[in-house]
Amino acid sequence: MEKTVSEAIEFRRSVRKYDPNQSLNHEDVKECIRQATLAATSSNLQLWEFYHITDSEILKKLSKACFSQSAASTAVQLVIPVVRKDLWRKRSTANIDFHKQQFEAQEVRNAKKEKRTLKYYEKLIPVLYREFFGIFGFLKKVFAKTTGIYRPMYREVNRGDLRVIAHKSTALAAQNFMISMAAKGIDTCPMEGFDSIRVKRILNLPRKAEISMVIGCGYRDEGGIYGPRFRVPFKDVYYSI
């Protein structure tokens, strides 16, 4: 029986050593990746891809690119969430097609909502994501700052801002994945210690793709958890206003 959400959250730890004698069911991990894609994502653009690594030779190469840390070198499988901000046109078009189908299927169409939704993806998203050597981003930043003097204004509009947004969405999906794995009693460890250029080369990724993290997967071995869980006191991070 799978764990509840609360049980899975409590169970999840960053496991850095995996039992080599316990294999992983490929379909179980794949299903957890599917659940990862149900995560919240900015503008529903889903600017991510997930690489599920099971090939032993690729695992060895990736382990080396992760500095041979035990969470990578003992992992039975690896899952690599990749940020694909460069796919914004394709993902925006997919949203447009989906919404058009939904509106056309309605017996009573809401023209105002339809116009607003399609305008968002056809007009606003291109304004936000289109780039030209950083010039558009600079102009958008100036516009946002000036407009913000007089009224509330969205200010995260340049290339760096949108990169952060894409990484945040991908990280939300990665957390979905790890909690889904924990629900099945499978352990994971998200790693930020890796040579991103080498990882991209191993995966044959395009230049504009970015590695969000590398996630080791398996069943915890003895010593896989380094110690009791530490968190700063809840009172130091919780504010009720």
Instruction: Label each residue of the chain as H, E or C.
Output: CCCCHHHHHHHCCECCCECCCCCCCHHHHHHHHHHHCCCCCHHHCCCEEEEEECCHHHHHHHHHHCCCCHHHHCCCEEEEEEECHHHHHHHHHHHHHHHHHHHHHCCCCCHHHHHHHHHHHHHHHHHHHCCCCCHHHHHHHHHHHHHCCCCCCCCCCCHHHHHHHHHHHHHHHHHHHHHHHHHCCCEEEEECCCCHHHHHHHHCCCCCCEECCEEEEECECCCCCCCCCCCCCHHHCCCCC
- The reply to whether CATH 3.40.109.10 applies to domain 5-87+170-236 is yes
pLDDT of residue 238: 97
pLDDT digit string, tens, across residues 185-229: 999 999 999 999 999 999 999 999 999 999 999 999 999 999 999
Residue 101 scores a pLDDT above 80:
yes
Residue 32 scores a pLDDT above 90:
yes
Domains of the chain: which residue ranges? 5-87+170-236, 90-160
pLDDT of residue 39: 98
pTM of the model: 0.93
pLDDT of residue 15: 98
pLDDT of residue 132: 80
pLDDT digit string, tens, across residues 134-191: 788 888 888 788 888 888 878 888 888 999 999 999 999 999 999 999 999 999 999 9
The whole-number average pLDDT for the span 5-34 is 97
pLDDT digit string, tens, across residues 48-90: 999 999 999 999 999 999 999 999 999 999 999 999 999 999 9
